[in-house]
Amino acid sequence: MALLVRLLPVALALALGPAATLGGPARSPYQLVLQHSRLRGRQHGPNVCAVQKLIGTNKKYFTNCKQWYQRKICGKSTVISYECCPGYEKVPGEKGCPAALPLSNLYETLGVVGSTTTQLYTDRTEKLRPEMEGPGSFTIFAPSNEAWASLPAEVLDSLVSNVNIELLNALRYHMVNRRVLTDELKHGMALTSMYQNSDIQIHHYPNGIVTVNCARLLKADHHATNGVVHLIDKVISTITNNIQQIIEIEDTFETLRAAVAASGLNTLLEGDGQFTLLAPTNEAFEKIPAETLNRILGDPEALRDLLNNHILKSAMCAEAIVAGMSVETLEGTTLEVGCSGDMLTINGKAIISNKDVLATNGVIHFIDELLIPDSAKTLFELAAESDVSTAVDLFRQAGLGVHLSGKERLTLLAPLNSVFKDGTPTIDARTKNLLLNHMIKDQLASKYLYHGQTLDTLGGKKLRVFVYRNSLCIENSCIAAHDKRGRYGTLFTMDRMLTPPMGTVMDVLKGDNRFSMLVAAIQSAGLTEMLNREGVYTVFAPTNEAFQAMPPGELNKLLGNAKELANILKYHIGDEILVSGGIGALVRLKSLQGDKLEVSSKNNVVNVNKEPVAEVDIMATNGVVYAISSVLQPPAVRPQERGDELADSALEIFRQASAYSRAAQTSVKLAPVYQRLLERMKH
């Protein structure tokens, strides 16, 4: 007899097919989760499943790998218990659950699986028990005892007061006239019930949860001689209305009803398919500023985007949510749907006031807050929820707000709030013009920008696009976050204020007194024309102090040899434009001299050949200038001699330098240098 008991599970598994065995292929998410629960429980004996129980409730879940380690359901703690897997039972004196449950008819199986109340109500009808005990093949989605006990008293009274009509019909709606196992329960399918052929909606989610009209399947695949029993956590009722019809009859959807009619989405919501509607109540619409709401309601495209952002692409019952998950809307955005205890959350907010209102083509959750997608927002509205509010306030103060709230196709280059941690610039004509150059005359997407592209601004400038391995920059400013694409405008979040180019490299150097000696050297070396024409250069520009810091002998030799001077200066010029935001940890930049410069960035400090850069990103039309405090030496150059006197050509260069910068001669720092040079020139 003991041997027969031990062989029963094996015989049953073989009869039911490979999916019923641990080693067989798991054909569905539910079976995968059940298999994981079985693996976690095997140390306690054969056919033992680990079950997570929500503390303080009777809710139990077979556990998947993620839940096993987190030990939480909807943010609430769970405890692990070990129970017999579905279809098995304990044997006194034996470890685990070695015996398969005895096969009996459906009626008797109801009592075995914990649905004695369903069994009791079946007894009260005249016709149902003989069917459950007789020949045939049926599926029963049997409510647990707790499910019946949780029915409102008036509902239960109406059922039991008319057992041969109301109760019989309710029970028949839980039945299907064939055996259906979990591997056949596909997401979005409809099963025909035994009550007037009414549909039962099935959803089988990737996390292993199966719902039947949004009731969760607790234990599945309890086989009987004439069918199969699935235990569910609710008493289900027939579904008669589609989503559009529910919107029409609910008073709280008056504004939504008008919006759906204006958008033309009523055809979708009354058609076939399976959707989830996060249905905003009248209260949700009332929370939106009247100006914003009127703008959206008056714009058919924005209105359609708004409503599509409230429609999920498949039916999502509340019981399927045990942790956060990303779901896509018809509008194309992603919402984070989660739960906190018994409350569902959208993007972390508990805004669902009524859940799981079933329709023939999906499920409705009532929400008390409007989910406005970026595609229905103005630039002002996009910025209000981003880290660029300080910049946008500057645009408003400068009188440029009309560009951010109208129908103009624009891309706004908005610096992060952190850029202004030391204060904001004074609003004057120069600042206003600078802000205008942060507005591109088209609605762009950063993923379509390409290296060397030029962009026209409202301020009349042409800005260049630079694409690097890990950054995308417009002039000296690089994109710091994903685009926000609004109704007419797109928001690019930038890492600094943009500096439009104000002339060629030579113009930049001549306009800055710090580089007067460098300008003279460039002219002496014959490089002026190159740095004035079109090109792409990165110039590491030594300041006057950098030249003065050189030993006199080295400086004498350098300035006395035009060819060597040109060679050294070309070593300071890279053959492409590299702004500081594109540097990363280390970039080896080829110089016009041929050797490579090592440019690195750490803690917002840029170094070239391990020497710190004094100022970065001085933008020019044909390149970018970095101010440096030392003269760079190519790897092959080694100083051979030193002298105390400057060559005649060196004196000539300094004469030119002094001519370019009279102010430098009178400066406190540079005056002694020029004085010594003039004294030497007299001898």
User: In this structure, are 123 and 74 located in the same domain?
Assistant: no
Six token digits for residue 569: 């200066």
What is the per-residue pLDDT for 508?
97
Angle at 509 (CA atoms; ends 506, 515), nearest 5 degrees: 140
Q: Are 347 and 336 in contact (CB under 8 A)?
A: yes
Read off the pLDDT band of 9 (50, 70, 90): very low
Read off the pLDDT band of 637 (50, 70, 90): low
C-beta atoms surrounding 93 within 10 Å: 6
Strand pairing category for 138-143 and 227-232 = parallel
Q: Which residue from 179, 194, 205 is spatially nearest to 15, judged by alpha carbons?
A: 179
Q: Say if residue 665's pLDDT is above 80.
A: no
Q: Say if residue 671's pLDDT is above 90.
A: no
With respect to residue 10, please indicate whether it lies within any of the assigned structural domains: no
User: In this structure, are 92 and 110 located in the same domain?
Assistant: no
Q: Say if residue 549's pLDDT is above 50.
A: yes
Q: CA-CA distance, 128 to 477, in Å (whole number)?
A: 75
**Average confidence (pLDDT) over 287-316:** 94
The mean-pLDDT minimum among 115-124, 420-429, 545-554 falls in 545-554
**Residues whose CB is less than 8 angstroms from the CB of residue 98 and which lie 6 or more positions away in sequence, other chains included:** 5, 6, 9, 45, 46, 47, 88, 91
Q: Say if residue 643's pLDDT is above 50.
A: no
Q: Say if residue 381's pLDDT is above 80.
A: yes
User: What is residue 169's three-state secondary structure?
Assistant: helix
Count helices and strands (H / E) in the chain.
28, 35
CATH number, domain of 439, equals: 2.30.180.10
Q: Are 236 and 215 in contact (CB under 8 A)?
A: yes
User: In this structure, are 367 and 275 located in the same domain?
Assistant: yes
**Tens digits of per-residue pLDDT, 156-186?**
999 988 888 999 999 999 999 999 999 999 9
User: In this structure, are 443 and 410 located in the same domain?
Assistant: yes
Mean pLDDT score across all residues of the chain: 88
CA torsion, points 626, 630, 635, 639, in degrees to nearest 10?
Answer: 150
User: In this structure, are 95 and 106 located in the same domain?
Assistant: no
What is the per-residue pLDDT for 656?
52
Q: Are 484 and 490 in contact (CB under 8 A)?
A: yes
Which residues pair with residue 492 across a beta bridge? Answer: 413
Share of the chain above pLDDT 70, in %: 89
User: In this structure, are 295 and 340 located in the same domain?
Assistant: yes
Angle at 443 (CA atoms; ends 440, 449), nearest 5 degrees: 80
Helix axes 389-397, 429-436, angle to 10 degrees: 120
Q: CA-CA distance, 174 to 195, in Å (whole number)?
A: 8
What is the per-residue pLDDT for 173?
97
With respect to residue 133, please indicate whether it lies within any of the assigned structural domains: yes
Domain boundary among 68, 99, 130: 99
**Tens digits of per-residue pLDDT, 515-547?**
999 999 999 999 999 999 999 999 999 999 999
**Tens digits of per-residue pLDDT, 497-511?**
999 998 999 999 999
What is the per-residue pLDDT for 298?
92
Read off the pLDDT band of 561 (50, 70, 90): confident
Q: CA-CA distance, 591 to 399, in Å (whole number)?
A: 45
Please give the backbone phi and psi of residue 625, each rounded to the nearest 5 degrees, phi first.
-115, 135
User: In this structure, are 247 and 190 located in the same domain?
Assistant: no
Q: Are 556 and 645 in contact (CB under 8 A)?
A: yes
User: In this structure, are 188 and 128 located in the same domain?
Assistant: yes
Q: Say if residue 631's pLDDT is above 70.
A: yes
Domain boundary among 466, 494, 522: 494
Helix axes 116-124, 153-160, angle to 10 degrees: 40
What is the per-residue pLDDT for 33?
94
**Average confidence (pLDDT) over 468-473:** 94
Six token digits for residue 401: 């707000």
What is the per-residue pLDDT for 21?
40
CA 581 to centroid of chain Cα atoms: 23
CA 538 to centroid of chain Cα atoms: 36
With respect to residue 11, please indicate whether it lies within any of the assigned structural domains: no
Domain boundary among 188, 206, 232: 232
Q: CA-CA distance, 160 to 402, in Å (whole number)?
A: 67
Q: Say if residue 100's pLDDT is above 60.
A: yes
Q: Say if residue 480's pLDDT is above 50.
A: yes
User: What is residue 601's three-state secondary structure?
Assistant: strand
Highest-pLDDT range among 1-5, 25-29, 41-45, 124-128: 41-45
Helix (H) or strand (E) holding 124: helix 116-124
With respect to residue 649, please indicate whether it lies within any of the assigned structural domains: no
User: In this structure, are 450 and 440 located in the same domain?
Assistant: yes
User: In this structure, are 197 and 113 located in the same domain?
Assistant: yes
What is the per-residue pLDDT for 374?
95
Tokens 């009509």, residue?
165
Read off the pLDDT band of 645 (50, 70, 90): very low
Check residues 21 and 464 and name the one with the higher pLDDT: 464
With respect to residue 126, please indicate whether it lies within any of the assigned structural domains: yes
What is the per-residue pLDDT for 58?
87
Q: Say if residue 1's pLDDT is above 80.
A: no
Q: Which domain holds residue 469?
A: 377-494
What is the per-residue pLDDT for 642?
37
Tokens 């779901």, residue?
327
Read off the pLDDT band of 680 (50, 70, 90): very low
Read off the pLDDT band of 603 (50, 70, 90): confident
The mean-pLDDT minimum among 290-294, 462-466, 654-658 falls in 654-658
pTM for this structure?
A: 0.79
User: In this structure, are 91 and 113 located in the same domain?
Assistant: no
Q: Which residue from 296, 354, 348, 301 is spatially nearest to 323, judged by alpha carbons?
A: 348
CA 511 to centroid of chain Cα atoms: 46
Total number of domains in the chain: 5
Q: CA-CA distance, 201 to 211, in Å (whole number)?
A: 8
What is the per-residue pLDDT for 649?
47
User: In this structure, are 594 and 512 located in the same domain?
Assistant: yes
Q: Which residue from 453, 327, 305, 447 is spatially nearest to 375, judged by alpha carbons?
A: 305
**Average confidence (pLDDT) over 256-273:** 94
Six token digits for residue 625: 């200038």
The mean-pLDDT minimum among 15-29, 37-51, 210-224, 312-326 falls in 15-29
The mean-pLDDT minimum among 16-25, 97-106, 311-320 falls in 16-25
Q: Say if residue 18's pLDDT is above 70.
A: no
**Average confidence (pLDDT) over 345-367:** 95
Q: CA-CA distance, 272 to 359, in Å (whole number)?
A: 11
With respect to residue 673, please indicate whether it lies within any of the assigned structural domains: no
With respect to residue 667, please indicate whether it lies within any of the assigned structural domains: no
With respect to residue 267, please indicate whether it lies within any of the assigned structural domains: yes
**Tens digits of per-residue pLDDT, 242-253?**
999 999 999 999
Q: DSSP alpha helices (H): ranges in 420-561?
A: 429-436, 505-510, 516-524, 528-532, 544-548, 552-559
